[in-house]
Amino acid sequence: MKSLMDPCCQRCAHRPETPCREYLRCRTEGPLCHDDEQCRKARQGRIEAVEGAAQAQRPTQNQINESPCWRLLVCAGTGCIASGGAPVVAALREAVEQRGMSSQVEIALTGCHGFCEQGPIIVVEPGKTFYRRVSAADALDIVDTHLAGGQRVDRLLYRLPGGEAVTCYPEIPFYARQHRIVLANCGHINPEDLGEYLARQGYRGFLKALAMERAAVIAEVKRSGLRGRGGAGFLTGQKWEFTAGAPGEEKYIVCNADEGDPGAFMDRSVLEGDPHAVLEGMLVAGYAIGAREGYIYVRAEYPLAIRRLQRAIAQAEACGLLGENILHSGFSFRVHVKAGAGAFVCGEETALLTSIEGNRGMPRVRPPYPAVKGLWGKPTNINNVETFANIPHILRRGADWYAAMGVGRSKGSKVFALTGKVNNTGLVEVPMGLSLREIIFAIGGGIQGGKAFKAVQIGGPSGGCLPESLLDTPVDYETLLEAGAMVGSGGLVVMDESTCMVDIARYFLNFTQQESCGKCAPCREGTKRMLEILTRITEGKGREEDLGALEKLAAVIKATSLCGLGQSAPNPVLTTLRYFRDEYEAHINDQRCPAGLCAALLTYRIDADKCRGCTLCARHCPVGCITGKPREAYVIDETRCVKCGVCLERCKFGAVIRR
Amino acid sequence: MLEKYREERGALIPLLQGAQEIYGYLPGAAMERIARTLRLPAAQVYGVATFYAQFHFTPRGRHVIRVCLGTACHVRGGARIFEALRRQLGVEDGGTTADLRYTLESVACIGACGLAPVIMIDDDTHGRLTPESLPGILARYE
């Protein structure tokens, strides 16, 4: 028996072909079909290997010294693979083989740990030892020193800013203040093994739902206060109720995994790290609403997520958890994966549906809402990945448990993608209502390079930029909306003093303008005009009347656009105008970019007194416009300079001046 | 492949994706054949194909370099990475080098923001880039 889903012995009667209601209980608490202490022990051992180690908060020294078997959890998320994770896995396998420890050591590939900044990441269980920036060359050392020798490899441990090493990950500040629910499994189970998901109470929420009346399931989700995690924050249970109540036999469940927001990657991590949680959430929704079919619409840019999902679906089908007559309940459900084709607007629900149908992904006017008239004209319930991933927990632990977290009308936890100029970038899951300051400074570890905080951009292109004075704003749906931003998908991009807010507004406008499907004029033409104005300002050609024009355009676009993309497109401009108006004015009135970023407004020159003629700038200048003789002062030819700033970065003597 | 999708609903996009996988781009003949199989007007097939950023109508390089210009990459200097690649390869956004070795593209977000600035070459993601690190990475793709 290698996985929990395997039969324990010849006598095991529970098979996928005859999946009774006790099937899952038999796999995790059993065997129930026959009495055998050996079989029970084997199952328990398997569960403990996955779950037991993760339970203990602080490991005892004994666990580290004399563990009979080790589990190396190697992050196989996109981030860690990109920082060189694959060779590490190969080297670890070889090292374990070489030392003859294959029977005692299991190397499990997991989903994202969330602390992408520190990748490649390895967690050694038992003991929760967190190794970061591991390279292939470290593999033998880990096996010899840690596994065979019972000593942690000191140089691979995470260090606090003071230099002190942190031994186990729950004590790393980045993790210590988080409250992981949706991400609880990410990084701790092998996402390609259904058995590991089961060992962590997987599919228990669905089992519980199956034993309830459909209406009761919806009531439970409603009571939990869960709101859509994709952006708008509509009450999930209410959405389910609408679809369940819509006339028609044929209904659909759709999972929106078209995470197009620049700066957000939580859906990707959940899909890659815990695909069964999404399937379980969809199953519960399917049962509650009375749908027999579900679709997951994933961006084609996420090949690993697509592969893992397809694998998870195949496993669930093989075990009778998807398909006809699931667990002998009379409920049947199938899930299809549809790869998107690269259009941001397809994240909008009506556009997404028409894209699944094989058309140009353009939104349409609502109502009728998809709950009444959705995929192929049938009632359809669409939720985002993170929303579905919350469902199993709500069913399993109850609505009250969930509703106890959060503030006001924002319940539960939310995953944020913390990126930009912050020290600890990665995925952060916190209860709703935590302040931005706590997220950015306590968990995120503050601003990179000791620079000053300037703004935080929340909610992607639909959101806004909030200044330092609003750092104590609690993060919840209502408060953020009031401040001009929104929770959105949960992207938090931190900006420091070197970020130009006009440039950021232009950046987002450029994005929405390019991604506008072009169906309605306010969005198609309006964003174009706004972009023209912003571009002009960043080029130093701004006029006094520009700011008024921007505000007027923004108001019209917001009020008259067809879908969410257009309605929210002006948000980044409006919030930067509201909180950073002085920067716009500096660009327009003084032809000056306070952050020193807008290339057209900058000049570079070399201070002859400070220049030592080291040639570094001239050698790295991409256009070769810096000339001079070694050991004499160099000169920049401003007519040819492309203002890339490489000379400034290279100069060791502070001789390059940017104005 | 055409057989598999003939009767399936919403088959157009998966078919276009499949055809692009085979040819590396979407030749006109392939799109016309898809139109005939699905009994759709050719205009509709072209209309759908041109709507999505993923589809291409001219041959592409052996390796596709996607430069992330997402927000996180933007604030950490993604534009400079793009600029450096543009110079190095001598092609514009969406362009392919004359020897068909590389195609350069800017994309909205790769979803590996923790490693910004990031590029993707084929299916490999490379992060924490500096303009200087690029030649070494490019050399690995023949």
Q: Tell me the pLDDT band of A68, cut-offs 50, 70 and 90.
A: low
How many other CB atoms are found less than 10 A from the CB of residue A161? 9
| Dihedral Cα A592, A594, A596, A600, nearest 10 deg | -30
A528 has a pLDDT exceeding 90: yes
Residue that wins the pLDDT comparison between A69 and A484: A484
| Whole-number Cα distances in Å, A545 to A92, A258, A326, A589, B76 | 63, 38, 65, 11, 32
Q: Do A507 and B14 touch (CB under 8 A)?
A: no
Q: Which ranges in B1-142 belong to alpha helices (H)?
A: 2-5, 12-23, 28-38, 42-51, 71-75, 78-89, 134-139
Return d(Cα A128, Cα A119) in angstroms, integer: 16
CB-based contacts of A411, cutoff 8 Å, min separation 6? A224, A225, A226, A227, A402, A403, A405, A432
What are the backbone dihedrals phi and psi of residue A173, each rounded to the nearest 5 degrees, phi first? -50, -35
Which amino acid does the sequence have at A227?
R
Q: Nearest Cβ partner of B108 from A262, A419, A420? A: A262
The CA distance from A114 to the nearest CA of chain B, in Å, is 9
Angle between helices A571-579 and A501-515 (to 10 degrees): 170
Q: Which of A116, A152, A122, A144 is nearest to A135 (CA)?
A: A122
Mean pLDDT across chain A: 90
Query: A492 - beta bridge partners?
Result: A418, A458
What structural domains does chain A harbor? 1-51 (no CATH), 53-171 (3.40.30.10), 194-404 (3.40.50.11540), 406-496 (3.10.20.600), 501-590 (1.20.1440.230), 602-658 (3.30.70.20)
Tally DSSP H helices, then E strands, for chain B.
7, 4
Identify residue A480 by its one-letter amino acid code: L
pLDDT band at A63, cuts 50/70/90? low
If you average pLDDT over residues A294-303, what whole number do you get?
Answer: 91
Token representation of residue A88: 């590490």
Tokens of A538: 């960043």
Question: Could you read off the pLDDT of A338-382 as tens digits, one per residue?
Answer: 999 888 899 899 999 999 999 999 999 999 999 999 999 999 999
CA distances from A76 to A83, A184, A307, A390 (A): 10, 16, 13, 23
Minimum distance, in Å, between the CA of residue A471 and any CA atom of chain B: 19
In the predicted structure, residue A64 carries a pLDDT above the cut 70: no
Q: What is the pLDDT of residue A258?
A: 92
Amino acid at A640: R
- Prior bond of B41 cis (ω within 30°): no
Quick: pLDDT tens for A232-267: 789 999 999 999 999 999 999 999 999 888 888 899
Reported pTM: 0.91
**pLDDT confidence of residue A58:** 52
**Which of chain A's residues have a Cβ under 8 Å away from the Cβ of B45?**
none
Give the one of A78, A339, A508 whose C-beta lies nearest to B17's C-beta.
A339
CA distance A44 to chain B (A): 37
Q: What is the CA radius of gyration of chain B?
A: 17
Which residue in chain A is spatially nearest to B44 when comparing CA positions? Answer: A359
Q: Which of B37, B71, B87, B121 to mutate to test the interface with A (most CBs of A within 10 A)?
A: B71
Nearest chain B residue to A261 by CA distance is B109
Whether the Cβ atoms of residue A603 and residue A628 lie closer than 8 Å to each other: no
Q: Which stretches of chain B sit within 8 Å of chain A by CB?
A: 9-14, 16-17, 47-48, 51-55, 69-76, 80, 83-84, 87, 107-116, 118, 123-128, 131
Per DSSP, helices labelled H in A541-645 are 546-560, 564-568, 571-579, 581-589, 616-620
Reported ipTM: the value is 0.88
Decide if B79 contacts B71 (C-beta within 8 A).
no
Query: How far is B89 from A411, CA to CA, in rounded Å?
Result: 50
Alpha-helical regions (H) of A179-252: 194-199, 204-210, 214-224, 236-245
Token pair in block for residue A581: 């108006």
